[in-house]
A and B are shown apart, each in its own frame.
Chain A
């Protein structure tokens, strides 16, 4: 059944008024909230967990840094195969036929081997064997590079064999890969790698894309996040490190990442979760935006009359429609 808006709602109010000082209300509110904020700040402070560095990674987990470096050279890391806007090594995520991820093109070109390993190592003073290794790598064909790095990665991560231990890798044709990987770990341990990767040869450097992509490969950053309960599939989007409240207002967005359907690898929903959930959120936002125009939704306040509490004094004095 439809209801037309009453004229009462839309015409200027001609009924009784009460004396009220809105600016005074604001002033009181300002004092109250300021005291509340200051009190909370005094008592509880705010989170500030130190940023991770490659120096820290080399100190805490040099083995995983080594393996991650090899995967960057092999082009098998998550960032290496990401797709747009970094490279075209993948088509990216889709919502059905819509391949939104491709629309912006390769706006931020990124080659994991070149950007993360070869260029930084070339930019640093290095020992003779590293110089030789770099020359060997850059002089080889792309297929040869892939063969060396791929074979080494397979041998290194073979659970029945080396199982992540560089000293236990069987003999093989790996080219300069072991030397390059070790050189990067050593450069990280000294702190040089952090600086070189950030600056990229420039004086002013603001773009942290390369280091963010590398830091996300290999599990070091993710392990820290999971330990802080910030992983995507543990409501991480609305959590905060330590015992501080997080971003509770993001619960409707975080919710979708908890559904088992979006966490199954190999399924359409699971593989394209970010894209599909972004689409779902757009729909939810549009619904929220257009509540005044959506039949049914806009009638909920009439069906569940919480408003009777708000205006109980008015109804008591002036009555209420049936």
Chain B
């Protein structure tokens, strides 16, 4: 019932990594986004501020 966009109301694809580990693609994307935010936060330079004496 989205206003416009992608309908997620359909079964997800699951990736079987090995015998008892499987992850849904949406969850995998979530994990990648989280890791990406963490790595990005560490690597992307933070703007230099005004130092006080």
Contacts of B1 in A (CB 8 A): 45, 48
The answer to the question of A43 belonging to the interface, with a C-beta cut-off of 8 Å to chain B, is: yes
- Is the Cβ of A245 less than 8 Å from the Cβ of B51? no
Q: Size class of B's contact patch?
A: 20 to 34
Among A19, A235, A244, contact of B26 (Cβ-Cβ < 8 Å):
A244
Nearest CB in chain B: distance from A300 CB, A: 16
The SS class assigned to the B binding surface is loop
Complex Cα–Cα for A233 and B9 (A) = 23
The answer to the question of A228 belonging to the interface, with a C-beta cut-off of 8 Å to chain B, is: yes
Whose C-beta in chain A lies nearest to the C-beta of B42?
A309
Residues of B within 8 A of A (CB): 1-14, 20-27, 29-31, 34, 42-43, 46, 49-53
Nearest CB in chain A: distance from B46 CB, A: 8
Among B5, B22, B43, contact of A44 (Cβ-Cβ < 8 Å):
B5
The answer to the question of A11 belonging to the interface, with a C-beta cut-off of 8 Å to chain B, is: no
Additional pairs, 5, CB under 8 Å, beyond known A42-B3, A43-B2: A43-B5, A45-B3, A47-B9, A229-B14, A235-B21
Q: Which 8 A-B pairs have the closest CB atoms?
A: A43-B5, A45-B2, A18-B49, A243-B8, A309-B42, A19-B50, A243-B12, A245-B26
- Is the Cβ of B31 less than 8 Å from the Cβ of A45? no
The answer to the question of A246 belonging to the interface, with a C-beta cut-off of 8 Å to chain B, is: yes
20 inter-chain pairs at a CB distance below 8 angstroms, sorted by A residue, are A16-B52, A16-B53, A17-B52, A18-B52, A19-B50, A19-B52, A20-B49, A42-B2, A42-B4, A43-B2, A43-B5, A45-B9, A229-B14, A235-B22, A243-B13, A243-B26, A244-B26, A245-B29, A245-B30, A258-B20
Interface positions of A from 220 to 236, Cβ below 8 Å from B: 227-229, 234-235
- Is the Cβ of A248 less than 8 Å from the Cβ of B11? no
Complex Cα–Cα for A274 and B3 (A) = 41
The answer to the question of A310 belonging to the interface, with a C-beta cut-off of 8 Å to chain B, is: yes
Complex Cα–Cα for A228 and B50 (A) = 54
Among A17, A42, A229, contact of B24 (Cβ-Cβ < 8 Å):
A229
Whose C-beta in chain A lies nearest to the C-beta of B34?
A248
The answer to the question of A238 belonging to the interface, with a C-beta cut-off of 8 Å to chain B, is: yes
Given that A16-B51, A260-B20, A306-B42 are known contacts, is A238 also in contact with B27, CB under 8 Å in the complex? Answer: yes
Contacts of A43 in B (CB 8 A): 2, 4-6
Complex Cα–Cα for A47 and B12 (A) = 12
- Is the Cβ of B22 less than 8 Å from the Cβ of A234? yes
Contacts of B51 in A (CB 8 A): 16-19
The answer to the question of A242 belonging to the interface, with a C-beta cut-off of 8 Å to chain B, is: yes
Nearest CB in chain B: distance from A224 CB, A: 12
1/0 per position for A258-288, CB-CB distance to B under 8 A?
Answer: 1110000000000000000000000000000
Contacts of A17 in B (CB 8 A): 51-52
Complex Cα–Cα for A180 and B3 (A) = 48
Contacts of A243 in B (CB 8 A): 8-13, 24-26
- Is the Cβ of A242 less than 8 Å from the Cβ of B10? yes
